[in-house]
């Protein structure tokens, strides 16, 4: 019987990069390296450490990568294709029969490269579904649903999904979309949700919280994290505009990405007094920041179900705060909110309904909702997630 091989993790983002994807992939690689040799192919500058000489620590090889701003769509697409090609060539050099290659869905060309290399080297492959392309691009208005490019991506997806040995979903709403591809069967799909990085416990509302102290409003509405193509910053700003005369409600908005830049532009033009913008909060200050608001927003565009999952969601619950989701009711975060009564769900595109729901939340403060939120966050924990990844890795290694 052939000796089990190694795990090769391919990710554009890896520490010292500070993105959520980098943190997730690093956690997976480090955990798996306790029992299995792990090699990481990283697109982040400063990540390289070379090959591991013992178990317990993944080796990291840096793949040349350049990431233009998200607004430079053509240059960014070219750079991502070049990165995928470099990863493909690196995998051809380093993958061996019996190995397992694990990757993520961004950049969207990367999974194709990983699956192709794995098939050529008679290795196995697994994909962590953070986003589903081309659906994300269609939802963002960057592609037409029936365009030639959209159809081409779906056709390539069909080949990729047939070639994969496992597809890891982080939301229950993704499975039905995946099963629409021929060759994807339920036994190929493994549901392993992400986890809260903060310890679940209700944090009290402290008037002297450094992020809350400058504002006199009784009720703080927070927004935090990456605002990409799948998010709708306009609905948040329009809701704040509708509530601008309510002295009890203030919006505390922080983040990064193209959506956050749009928020800054709108606020620079309108100067609404009930909106405060905060630059991206460092990890060491995240707990204090998330504890500052009474409720947190996650604003999605239409048709998000199954396409994109908010990893930030679990930390919002972990600090014991209700969450207001702008999305269809069948999306993963919306399902969790309604199943456990830890917030509200508002249909995308309706700023008036969002403003009315925020006003309702301000009048309906419920300590038991905060307790439920923290309790639910305990279900989405690191140990359970890592047990899922370990079990899947061992299964794939011993089947190779």
pLDDT tens, position by position, 236-253: 999 999 999 999 999 999
- 179: which residues sit within 8 A by CB, 6+ positions away? 185, 186, 189
Q: Cα dist. 101→119, 240, 394 in Å?
A: 10, 45, 13
- 141: which residues sit within 8 A by CB, 6+ positions away? none
Assess contact for 362 and 62: CB atoms under 8 A: no
Q: Reply yes or no on whether the pLDDT at 280 is more than 60.
A: yes
- Rounded to an integer, the average pLDDT of 352-356 is 97
Quote the pLDDT of residue 52.
60
- Strand order of the β-sheet with 59-62 is 59-62, 38-42, 7-11, 100-104, 124-129, 166-169, 189-191
Give me the CATH topology for the region 7-195+381-399. Rossmann fold (3.40.50)
- Rounded to an integer, the average pLDDT of 350-358 is 97
Biggest alpha carbon distance in the chain? 72
Q: What is the mean pLDDT of the chain?
A: 91
Check residues 359 and 77 and name the one with the higher pLDDT. 359
- 142: which residues sit within 8 A by CB, 6+ positions away? 73, 229
- Rounded to an integer, the average pLDDT of 180-190 is 90
- Rounded to an integer, the average pLDDT of 209-216 is 94
User: Length of the chain in residues, anyone?
Assistant: 400
Report the number of secondary-structure helices (H) and strands (E) in the chain.
14, 13
Q: Please state which architecture CATH assigns to domain 219-379.
A: 3-Layer(aba) Sandwich (3.40)
Portion of the chain with pLDDT greater than 70, in percent: 95
Check residues 233 and 3 and name the one with the higher pLDDT. 233
Quote the pLDDT of residue 311.
76
Angle of helix 332-340 versus helix 367-379 axis, rounded to 10: 130
Q: Reply yes or no on whether the pLDDT at 231 is more than 50.
A: yes
What the block records as the tokens of 272 is 């609404």
DSSP letters spanning 130-193: SB-TTHHHHHTTSS-TT-HHHHHHHHHHHHHHHH-SEEEESSTTHHHHHTTSTT--GGGEEE--
Q: Reply yes or no on whether the pLDDT at 33 is more than 90.
A: yes
Q: CA angle 39-103-386, nearest 5°?
A: 75
Q: Is the peptide bond before 134 cis (omega within 30 degrees of 0)?
A: yes
* DSSP structural state of residue 64: P
Q: Which residue's structure tokens are 């619950």? A: 317
Quote the pLDDT of residue 183.
80
> What is the C-alpha to C-alpha distance for residues 190 and 172, in angstroms, rounded to an integer?
10
For 88-144, what is each residue's pLDDT tens digit?
A: 999 999 999 999 999 999 888 999 999 999 999 999 999 999 888 888 888 878 889
Q: Which residue's structure tokens are 């994290």? A: 225
- Strand order of the β-sheet with 249-254 is 275-278, 249-254, 219-223, 295-299, 323-326, 343-346
Quote the pLDDT of residue 1.
44
Quote the pLDDT of residue 70.
57
> What is the C-alpha to C-alpha distance for residues 45 and 64, in angstroms, rounded to an integer?
8
Q: What are phi and psi of 250, to 5 degrees?
A: -135, 145
Quote the pLDDT of residue 204.
94
Q: Where in the chain is the domain with CATH 3.40.50.2000?
A: 7-195+381-399, 219-379
- Rounded to an integer, the average pLDDT of 193-200 is 92
What the block records as the tokens of 134 is 């081309």
pTM confidence score: 0.87
């Amino acid at each position: 019987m052939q000796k089990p091989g190694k795990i090769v993790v391919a990710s554009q983002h890896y520490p010292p990069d500070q993105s959520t994807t980098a943190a997730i992939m690093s956690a997976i690689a480090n955990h798996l390296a306790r029992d299995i040799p792990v090699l990481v192919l990283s697109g982040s500058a400063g990540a390289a450490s070379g090959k591991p000489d013992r178990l317990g620590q993944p080796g990291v090889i840096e793949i040349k990568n350049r990431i233009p701003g998200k607004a430079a769509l053509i240059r960014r697409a070219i750079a991502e294709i070049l990165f995928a090609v470099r990863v493909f060539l690196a995998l051809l050099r380093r993958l061996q029969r019996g190995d397992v290659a694990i990757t993520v869905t961004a950049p969207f060309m990367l999974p194709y490269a990983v699956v192709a290399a794995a098939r050529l080297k008679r290795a196995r492959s697994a994909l962590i579904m953070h986003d589903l392309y081309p659906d994300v691009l269609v939802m963002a208005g960057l592609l037409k649903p029936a365009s030639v490019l959209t159809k081409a991506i779906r056709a390539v997806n069909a080949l990729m999904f047939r070639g994969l040995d496992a597809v890891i979903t982080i939301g229950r709403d993704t499975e039905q979309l995946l099963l629409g591809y021929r060759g994807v069967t339920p036994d190929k799909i493994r549901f392993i949700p992400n986890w809260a990085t903060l310890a679940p416990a209700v944090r009290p509302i402290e008037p002297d919280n450094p992020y809350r102290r400058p504002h006199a409003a009784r009720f703080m509405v927070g927004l935090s994290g990456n605002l990409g193509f799948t998010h709708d910053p306009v609905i948040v700003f329009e809701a704040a505009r509708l509530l601008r005369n309510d002295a009890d409600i203030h919006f505390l908005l922080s983040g990064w990405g193209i959506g956050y830049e749009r928020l800054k532009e709108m606020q620079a033009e309108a100067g609404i007094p009930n909106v405060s913008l905060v630059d991206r909060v460092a990890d060491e200050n995240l707990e204090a920041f998330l504890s500052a608001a009474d409720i947190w927003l996650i604003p999605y565009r239409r048709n998000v179900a199954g396409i994109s999952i908010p990893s930030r969601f679990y930390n919002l619950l972990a600090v014991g705060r209700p969450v207001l989701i702008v999305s269809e009711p069948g999306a993963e975060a919306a399902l969790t909110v309604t199943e456990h009564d830890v917030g509200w769900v508002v249909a995308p595109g309706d700023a008036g309904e969002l403003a009315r729901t925020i006003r309702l939340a301000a009048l309906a403060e419920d300590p038991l909702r905060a307790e439920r939120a923290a309790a639910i966050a305990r279900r989405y924990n690191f140990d359970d997630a890592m047990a899922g990844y370990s079990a899947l890795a061992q299964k794939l290694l011993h089947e190779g």
